[in-house]
Amino acid sequence: MRLWLAIGQAGKVVGGVAAFRCPDRASPAARLQEVDIFPAHRGQGLGTALLEGVRDLLLSEGVSSLVIGADEDDWPLGWYRSLGFRDVLRVNKRISQPPARTRLPVAEAAPYRAVRALLVR
């Protein structure tokens, strides 16, 4: 996994994004993780610049597609779409764990919520 940081005007870290290559795929892909700009620094284009820079770097290194996950009700979903990401997959994500003393099969252990995975080429 690699990490890129966004540096603000005062030279301080104001956000970051991490990525890792996805093994065992027919075409090279990378998964972006933890795309975030600290709230006080949002709305200045830093996140877009960071995400586009990382995207361009990974594509120049031979990655043919990028994948990023976003909750259906979370604000970044629209931002990712505006940057060229598109919905390609809907998966279920466990949102809570059963109490420690309860031994249930995973399928019964916790409720799930939908999460969208997004892809850009």
Positive or negative, the CA dihedral 31, 86, 53, 9 is negative
Q: Quick one: CATH architecture of 2-120? A: 3-Layer(aba) Sandwich (3.40)
3 state SS of 116: strand
Position 92 pLDDT exceeds 80: no
* pTM > 0.75: yes or no: no
Query: Mean per-residue pLDDT for 37-54?
Result: 91
Query: Mean per-residue pLDDT for 32-44?
Result: 89
* Residues with Cβ within 8 Å of residue 84, at least 6 apart in sequence: 120
DSSP code of residue 60: H
Maximal C-alpha separation, the chain = 51
In the chain, domain spans: 2-120
